[in-house]
Amino acid sequence: MQPQGTVFYHFYRAVAALSAPLVWRSVSRKLARSGIAPERQRERLGHATLPRPDGALAWFHAASVGESLSVLSLAARMQALRPGLSVLITSGTASSAQILAKRLGPGMVHQFAPLDQAGALRRFLDHWRPDAGIFVESEIWPQMLVEAAAQDVPLALVNARMSKTTLKNWQRFDHTARFLLGLFQVIRTQDQATLDGLRSVGADEARVQLGPNLKSFAAPLPVDAEMLAQMQAALPGPVWLAASTHEGEEKQVLKAHAIARKTLPDLRLVLVPRHPERAEGIATLIRDEGFSVARRSAGEAPMADVYLADTLGEMGLWYALARVVFLGGSLGQAGGHNPYEPAQSGCAILTGPRYANFADVYAEFLAADALRIAKRPADLGKQVAALLTAPDEARALGQAARDLAGRNGAALDDLAALLSTQVMQAPLPAAEEG
């Protein structure tokens, strides 16, 4: 039975229907530019390109790369509890599809998520018939939730994270927020601010609770051992990494690099922008700042002051190569990035002072002396040089981060059990009951 919704929800439906052709045109062009074949582009209209597996199916919906990868460990735990369980992961970006293709476990498949439009959603749901829909972080698409509920698909929201701006907007439409949140049987947030915010807009306190943070349980990123050996041979001297930088941060990182080279004249920098499509402008900036540059995407050898790693899916390689890492998104307005990935690789982590999106996580890392803050480029450059000239200190910092990332595995088991018993439609196999 179709949930009734609110006035604002029905207004949203009308706008979504009117704008659907324009949205599809924009989405399909973006996927095409990323090399996605036309038949796979049509997955966004609800046209499946794979058959539905037999038996129970858990559907995980995430936005992009980080969110998609964060559910792999949880999905695998659920499969361990439910032998024969298949997993469908949907996301919206080409990069997530490309990276997931290399990381999916047995019994897992990926499809592009259907647009939040009634026809696409019904085609999708009619084909896949999921036994549960598990949404990740902030992926709350109104019609997707309502159409799934109309087909009696039990829903959960895990690792929920809402910005202050999003929560303020929800408070303006609190009746619609309560309606949509009420469609979830289980809600688990990754931080206290989101928990408090969801409760403030009317989420059922019996259904919404804190934790765990799925990104703390993601498996270490894969490393191509042969490629790592090649890079280590090409970069035998000191090297550091600036990971997931945003526009405006690269110039600050390059200033830090210049300062660090006063202590270590042969120091190299591997720079990995959050959005590789910005690489051309970044390369120009590097030259303007007086450094030589080599680009990974062009197949150039890393024999330059700065190696611009403008590719996708190789972050594990860079974390393994450079043991001192600056985590971007923290010197500008992006709000920081997840520190668990470099922590799992045992990196000594440096960050800027702006990490509001992960405030609880960073507080835990700081309390454990598992990362350090550099407030400005001069500070960053000095700390990079200090850690690279004191390898025992860098190893201790990296080990503290690795130890922190390895804790609390039981919390993931508890969440997998909760979803398997309280959200999944299909009963557990007889041998697993009780």
Could you give the residue numbers annotated as active site? 67
Q: Cα(282)–Cα(267) distance, rounded to whole angstroms?
A: 19
What is the bridge-based pairing of β-strands 132-136 and 155-160?
A: parallel
Residue 100 three-state SS? helix
The number of helix segments (H) and strand segments (E) in the chain equals: 19, 14
Q: Which residues contact 218 (CB under 8 A, 6 or more apart)?
A: 69, 70, 72, 73, 340, 341, 344
Backbone angles phi, psi at 112, to 5 degrees: -70, 140
- Cα Rg of the chain, angstroms: 23
Query: At 368, which amino acid appears?
Result: A
Q: Cα(227)–Cα(233) distance, rounded to whole angstroms?
A: 10
Tracing tokens 């006063």 back to the chain, one arrives at 262
Length of the chain, please? 434
Structure tokens at 284: 């120009």
Torsion of CA 417, 419, 423, 425, to 10 degrees: -70
Q: Which residues contact 397 (CB under 8 A, 6 or more apart)?
A: 348, 349, 369, 370, 371, 372, 387
CB-based burial label for 374 (10 Å; 0-12, 13-18, 19+): buried
Tell me which residue of 183, 151, 341, 331 sits closest to 256, measured CA to CA: 331
**Burial readout 28-60 (b: 16 or more C-beta within 10 A, e: otherwise):** beebeeeebeeebbbbbbbbbeeeebeebbbbb
